[in-house]
């Protein structure tokens, strides 16, 4: 016979899932979120449900410089820590991000919390995050046609509250995540004009592991992005993992950018990842390459933490 606790957990999972989809369904979808190619390396940057999802303590720092040599190129720095807590029934984390594109710099700090349900062979997680976003635009490097235009005399700045949500389901063989990390749209008033700084982004991530033998695993992944006013974006990656330590992969973004991914684990806890991207003529041209570096650590900090790496 099934226990009362089991029924309660199933009811709670259905309730949380329904709540998450209701939130996602109310969204209007713009194109300001930074890009990440190593979203499986540090999935917290896209989905708060990943806080402590791997039942370990995690820390990472990352830097991405996109389209090197192009004036006003996007540059992103992020740092995060998160851990499984309460006998692996929950998770919490902190994410700090600074993104600069052109004359606009966005700095963001978010605290993430997740509740996890351990099913037979899967883990379901519902996550929320809350924090603040600071937006600062400087016009010192802008050269407008009319230098007396009030819109260009001073920069714009402001601070807004951020809320985000997401759900995730994982096993040792697959991972699926759905999230909106920034639920609240941001608008600024400049004189009589009002403009949107960004609208919400919807992310859907999926990955699967296929064992060729005891040493080699195939790990394809797909990332879908949706935002109002722009076509949906899709990243498709094909990764090969050797001895659960070294990973090499190739990927494409909308078939107009192609990249190479390399990752490794040192001394069973330190992680290093590097991505090299080349856009095509359909994007900004092959002269402007992109580089992304990430450093991370995974530890079994508590007695209830897993002692070995999981695939996700």
Apex CA 307: angle with CA 7 and CA 220, to 5°? 75
Q: Which residue has the tokens 């991972």?
A: 175
- DSSP structure string for 49-115: GGTTTTSSEEEEEEEEE-STTSTT--EEEEEEEEEEETTTTEEEEEEEEEEEETTEEEEEEEEEEEE
pLDDT at 81 exceeding the cut of 60? yes
Between 143 and 312, where is the model more confident? 312
Residue 307 inside a domain? The answer is: no
Residue 55 inside a domain? The answer is: yes
Structural domain total, the chain: 1
Q: Which domain holds residue 266?
A: 4-299
pLDDT at 305 exceeding the cut of 90? yes
Apex CA 175: angle with CA 169 and CA 179, to 5°? 65
In this prediction, residues 297-301 reach a mean pLDDT of: 94
Residue 309 inside a domain? The answer is: no
Residue 266 inside a domain? The answer is: yes
Q: Per residue in 1-58, pLDDT tens?
A: 445 444 444 544 554 444 444 444 433 334 468 899 999 999 999 999 999 999 999 9
Quote the pLDDT of residue 282.
75
Rg (C-alpha) for the chain, rounded Å, is: 21
Q: What is the CATH number of the domain that holds 133?
A: 2.40.160.40
Residue 23 inside a domain? The answer is: yes
Question: Residue 252 — very low, low, confident or very high, per pLDDT cuts 50/70/90?
Answer: very high
The torsion angle over the Cα atoms of residues 206, 211, 216 and 219, rounded to 10 degrees, is -10
pTM: 0.83
pLDDT at 146 exceeding the cut of 80? no
Quote the pLDDT of residue 92.
98
Quote the pLDDT of residue 71.
82
Phi first, then psi, for residue 289 (nearest 5°) are -85, 165
Residue 109 inside a domain? The answer is: yes
Between 199 and 259, where is the model more confident? 259
H/E run at residue 220: strand 216-226
Q: Per residue in 190-225, pLDDT tens?
A: 555 566 666 789 999 999 999 999 999 999 999 999
Rounded to whole angstroms, how far apart are CA atoms 247 and 251?
13
Rounded to whole angstroms, how far apart are CA atoms 19 and 288?
42
Residue 223 inside a domain? The answer is: yes
Looking at beta carbons, which pairs linking 279-286 to residues 24 or more positions away fall under 8 Å? 279/67, 280/256, 282/255, 282/256, 283/256, 283/257, 284/67, 284/70
Residue 306 inside a domain? The answer is: no
Quote the pLDDT of residue 153.
52
């Amino acid at each position: 016979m099934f226990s009362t606790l089991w029924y309660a957990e199933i009811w709670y999972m259905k309730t949380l899932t329904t709540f998450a989809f209701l939130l996602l369904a109310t969204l209007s979808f713009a194109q300001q979120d930074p890009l990440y190619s190593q979203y499986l390396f540090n999935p917290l940057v896209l989905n708060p449900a990943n806080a402590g999802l791997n039942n370990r303590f995690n820390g990472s720092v990352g830097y991405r410089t996109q389209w090197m040599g192009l004036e006003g190129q996007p540059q992103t720095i992020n740092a995060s820590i998160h851990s499984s807590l309460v006998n692996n029934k929950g998770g919490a984390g902190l994410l700090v991000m600074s993104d600069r594109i052109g004359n606009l710099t966005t700095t963001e700090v978010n605290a993430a919390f997740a509740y996890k349900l351990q099913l037979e062979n899967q883990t379901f997680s519902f996550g929320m995050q809350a924090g603040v976003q600071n937006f600062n635009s400087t016009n010192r490097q802008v050269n407008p046609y009319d230098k007396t235009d009030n819109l260009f005399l001073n920069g714009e700045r402001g601070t807004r509250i951020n809320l985000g949500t997401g759900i995730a389901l994982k096993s040792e063989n697959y991972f699926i995540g759905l999230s909106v990390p920034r639920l609240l749209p941001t608008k600024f008033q400049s004189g009589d004009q009002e403009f949107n700084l960004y609208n919400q982004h919807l992310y859907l991530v999926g990955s699967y592991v296929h064992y060729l033998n005891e040493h080699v695993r195939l790990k394809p992944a797909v990332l879908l992005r949706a935002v109002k006013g722009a076509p949906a974006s899709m990243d498709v990656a094909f990764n090969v993992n050797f001895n659960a330590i070294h990973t090499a992969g190739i990927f494409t973004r909308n078939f107009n950018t192609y990249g190479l991914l390399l990752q490794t684990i040192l001394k069973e806890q330190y992680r290093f990842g590097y991505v090299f991207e080349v856009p095509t003529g359909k994007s900004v041209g092959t002269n402007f390459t992109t580089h992304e570096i990430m450093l991370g650590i995974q530890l079994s900090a508590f007695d209830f933490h897993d002692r070995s790496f999981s695939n996700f």
